[in-house]
A and B are shown apart, each in its own frame.
Chain A
Amino acid sequence: MDLATTLVTGTGFWNPLAWILGLIVAFIIAWIIYSLGEKGFKQGTAQAEPFISGNPEPEKGMVHVRAGNLYWGYMEALKGYYDRLVPIHTGNLHDYVLWFLGITALFLVLVVVFV
């Protein structure tokens, strides 16, 4: 396919060379603006830190939208459930075995009494 071919769509046109030329011009303009920027600041000092109205810069993790924010509404709606469930998840295997034994014992009693 010829690079210089112009595709006329009826509402506009597409020409790869025109785009490449446009990108080069945009790059040159951007480079000129960049080269006119402040060169006096010292790297590795507060002068290179972001300006947040004088407030300290939070950790990177604190300024991003976390995955947990995506299902915040879900957690909020089921707050009553999670408030009870989360403390039970202690991470201690002994606790889980005790829960397992307790629930098994409860079901055995229910089966023996009602079945």
Chain B
Amino acid sequence: MKLNASFNHSLWVYHFNSGSCNGCEIEIVATLTPRYDPERFGIKLVGSPRHADVMLVTGPVVHKMKDRLLRVYAQIPDPKVVMCIGSCGISGGVFYDSYNLEGPVDEVIPVDVFVPGCPPRPEAIIHGVVKALQKLERIQGGES
């Protein structure tokens, strides 16, 4: 995919909750508030993976969400970048080794950017988005 020149540096993000406690969701919403206002850079949440460049995954992957996570990941057009927000998605966090988990996010889909924290602060999420943007630009430039 070659992005239209007017859409360069503009990230559309689809958020997927694979079993989060909603703590990370609160911080994601806080990231979108006027205090940080990432929309001025074209970064915004979209309602469908079909429109997204980045997939934001929060929470560890519970059994029932595994199929859905894989399906939504497959529905995002290429090139795509996956961001894992919060300790639970990275390692399982407080739910580590729980009976109802498939595991951390990177055991189900490939993750490009990890943002640790329980929950991570908006500044950390924005830093992760910048990293995701750099990764996306590298992919578009032909690098892996």
Contacts and interface: CB of A to CB of B under 8 A. Distances in A.
Interface of A: 36, 38-42, 45-47, 49, 51, 53-56
Contacts of A47: 50, 74-78
B50 A41 contact: yes
Contacts, number: 44
Given A38-B51, A47-B50, A54 B72 contact: yes
Interface size class of B (residues with CB under 8 A): 20 to 34
Contacts of B144: none
Interface secondary structure of B, over-half rule: helix
Contact of B68 (A36, A45, A54): A54
A55 to B, nearest CB: 7
A55 B72 CA distance: 9
Nearest to B75: A46
B46 to A, nearest CB: 11
Contacts of B119: none
Contacts of A36: 4
A55 B77 contact: no
Contacts of B78: 40-42, 47
